[in-house]
Structure 1
Amino acid sequence: KGGNQIEEEEECRGETRSESEKKMSGVSTAAYFARRAAQKERVRILYRRALKDTLNWAVHRHIFYRDASDLREKFNANQDVEDIDRIDKLIAHGESEYNKWRHPDPYIVPWAPGGSKFCRNPTPPAGIEIVYNYGLEDNP
């Protein structure tokens, strides 16, 4: 039976399907769940990056807590969206907003790459040896 016949029969019986179910009927279930898993991962990464960037903008903890709550409310506002294409658009919009409002000089832990103490004590060049017996060489 064609897709239209099935929909007509369901409407005759009084059954209705949501738009996401109609879209999902044409897509395999494994592909649907793989796409949803990828979306969840992108949202998780976006939230963590935005939360860490909020800490760069907030100087004091009480300001950070308020900003973090506002950020969480923005994410929770779209928590119940089921349409896959709309979720992709929301994620793309969130990523563009994050890139637009990123801190120009983020805090970096001093000993991490890009920090002020990173590679402060570089490894010695290849021809230098370290002698550990401090001049107490064996004298035959």
Structure 2
Amino acid sequence: MSGATTAAYLARRAAQKERIRILYRRALKDTLNWAVHRHLFYQDASDLREKFEANKHVEDLDTIDKMIAAGEATYNKWRHPDPYIVPWAPGGSKFTRTLSHLLGLRLCIIMVEKRMIKTSIFSYPKQ
């Protein structure tokens, strides 16, 4: 192999490894959406890992590309329709809330409550 073909081979192989890594991470995160309990998730994650490990020995670049395309098609077919989104992440219910205003409001309420308690204690006639 010449230097150019070796570089092209290594670049293509690196791109494939990246696509495989991304596909595995997406599938693993989506498995967590389907599995309600952790013990179910651990079994499904183990099965998913076995599927990826079973094809680890394949060296032909064209075969690997076909397998990646088939894996991505399967992932898109079985992707969860309503995935869990962390509330403070983009797309979550608490994303871009301004908590500083809420914190300031809470401090004002606490100060007013303390003043009300002070004045109510001293406003009653002593017996």
Structure-1-length-normalised TM-score: 0.67
Separation of aligned partners in 1, 2:12 and 2:96: 41
Partner of 2:54: 77
* Structure 2 gap ranges (5+): 102-127
Q: Name 2:24's counterpart in structure 1.
A: 47
Residue 32 in structure 1 maps to residue 9 in structure 2: yes
Whether 2:66 is the aligned partner of 1:89: answer yes
Residue type matched to 2:44 in 1? D
Letter in 2 for 1:34: A
Structure whose residues are more often helix by fraction: 2
Unaligned runs of 5+ in 1: 1-23, 125-140
Paired positions, count: 100
Who is 1:118 aligned against?
Answer: 95
> Structure 1, residues 72-92: CA drift from partner, whole Å, max 9, x if none?
010011000011000000000
TM-score calculated relative to the size of structure 2: 0.73
Task: Report the equivalent of 2:43.
Answer: 66
For the aligned residue pairs, the C-alpha RMSD in angstroms reads 1.9
